[in-house]
Amino acid sequence: MVQVGSLHISPELVNASCAWASDLGQLQALFDSPDTGAVLTRTSTLEGFQEDASSHTVAFASSSTTSLNSYGYSPHKLSQYLSWIESILSAAATPKSKPFIISITASQPDVTRSTIDAIQALRSKGPAFADIGIEFNTSCPNIRGSTPPGYAFTNLVPLLTVFADAWRADNSLTLGLKLPPYVHAAQFAEVLDTLRQFSTTADVDGHARNPIAYIACTNTLGNALLMITRLRYRRPLGGIAGDALHALALGNVYSFARLLEAEDSASGLKNLVIIGIGGVTSAEAAARMRKAGASIVGSATLFGKEGVRAFEIISGKH
């Protein structure tokens, strides 16, 4: 069991936010799976994302468990996810048996605030709904005309301020950040330097806390091309994931883990949990992620190929 903010995650395996965590049936199957410790939704927004089938799609490689996708965010609005989650948790035999983490994104502070408020309104409906966290997606590489904000991390300060305010008002709110794959050392330092500004001042024992409970590393690596995708397709380029991303994702997890190890307990970041995502397509890959420093591992591509059976495979049951 790993404690992430106020959420208890057991087993330490989750689906990564993805297109296969889009609708009620998919979320229910994830909730019912005994092999995951939390359900992550696909990234949603207040208004829903305009999806069109010729631009937004996914393809799998034939020679390895690798995917390439050009999806943006979910076409379903946040309000739809809230009502699905409310109905799943209301019907559960043992409410609170598995946390939900709602992936969201926004680029403006006021929209971010409204998004958090809508989620908090569900959480306040009673103890059955308390175990709902928020993951802020900073890293979708497929949004036309927009740099994934995780690649210009200091620009996120106004939005992180909104998250920090929400956490100060309610410490039971679990917040995570979905980060893009980074490729040089200064990028990891920039993330931690920015987050450190939001830590509380150290208490008498010298311990500080940070509003952000976890980082999820990594999202897909953008602008990749698989030659199996039709080049005449409106958008043959997309985010690469699965086996082809694994080495870079391991390097990201390892880099953050080493930096966090060196943090002082007064910095507030010492206990930042890492969810390792990227090419977790087997029990061996999950073991490598944990060895690199992940406390929890997540998977999207194998889940897309196999459905919830993926989590049995990663757990070593096959």
Ligand X SMILES: Cc1cc2nc3c(=O)[nH]c(=O)nc-3n(C[C@H](O)[C@H](O)[C@H](O)COP(=O)(O)O)c2cc1C
- Please answer whether residues 131 and 99 qualify as being in contact, where contact means their C-beta atoms are separated by less than 8 angstroms: yes
**Phi, psi (deg, nearest 5) at residue 44:** -120, 165
Q: How far is the CB of 290 from ligand X (least distance, A)?
A: 15
Q: Choose between 26 and 199: whose C-beta lies nearer to ligand X.
A: 26
Q: CA 47, 52, 53, 54 torsion: positive or negative?
A: negative
Q: How far is the CB of 62 from ligand X (least distance, A)?
A: 16
Q: Choose between 71 and 151: whose C-beta lies nearer to ligand X.
A: 71
Q: How far is the CB of 275 from ligand X (least distance, A)?
A: 10
Q: Which single residue is written with the structure tokens 């059955």? A: 128
Q: Choose between 61 and 192: whose C-beta lies nearer to ligand X.
A: 61
Distance CA 57, CA 66 (A): 14
Three-state DSSP class for residue 4 = strand
Q: First and final CA of the chain: distance in angstroms?
A: 22
Looking at the DSSP bridge assignments, the partners of residue 77 are 45
In the structure encoding, which two tokens stand for residue 303, read together?
Answer: 């889940």
Task: Report which of 286, 316, 313, 312 is spatially closest to residue 298, judged by C-alpha positions.
Answer: 286
Q: How far is the CB of 299 from ligand X (least distance, A)?
A: 4
Q: How far is the CB of 103 from ligand X (least distance, A)?
A: 5
Q: Please count the residues of the chain.
A: 318
Q: How far is the CB of 125 from ligand X (least distance, A)?
A: 25
Task: Report which of 27, 36, 71, 67 is spatially closest to residue 51, judged by C-alpha positions.
Answer: 71
Q: How far is the CB of 179 from ligand X (least distance, A)?
A: 9
DSSP symbols for 145-164: T---GGGGGGGGHHHHHHHH
Q: Choose between 211 and 304: whose C-beta lies nearer to ligand X.
A: 304
Q: Choose between 73 and 151: whose C-beta lies nearer to ligand X.
A: 73
What is each CA distance from 258 to 16, 29, 162, 249, 296, in whole angstroms? 23, 36, 28, 14, 16
Q: Choose between 133 and 242: whose C-beta lies nearer to ligand X.
A: 242
Q: Choose between 233 and 270: whose C-beta lies nearer to ligand X.
A: 233
The residues that touch ligand X, with contacts defined as CB under 6 A, are 16-19, 42-43, 58, 67, 69, 71, 73, 103, 137, 178, 219-220, 241-242, 245, 277-280, 299-301, 304
Q: Choose between 133 and 268: whose C-beta lies nearer to ligand X.
A: 133
DSSP 8-state secondary structure symbol assigned to residue 250: H
Q: Choose between 240 and 272: whose C-beta lies nearer to ligand X.
A: 240
Q: How far is the CB of 136 from ligand X (least distance, A)?
A: 9
**Where does the chain show beta strands of DSSP type E?**
2-4, 7-9, 13-15, 39-40, 58-60, 66-69, 100-104, 132-137, 175-179, 212-217, 221-224, 238-242, 273-277, 296-299
Q: How far is the CB of 309 from ligand X (least distance, A)?
A: 15
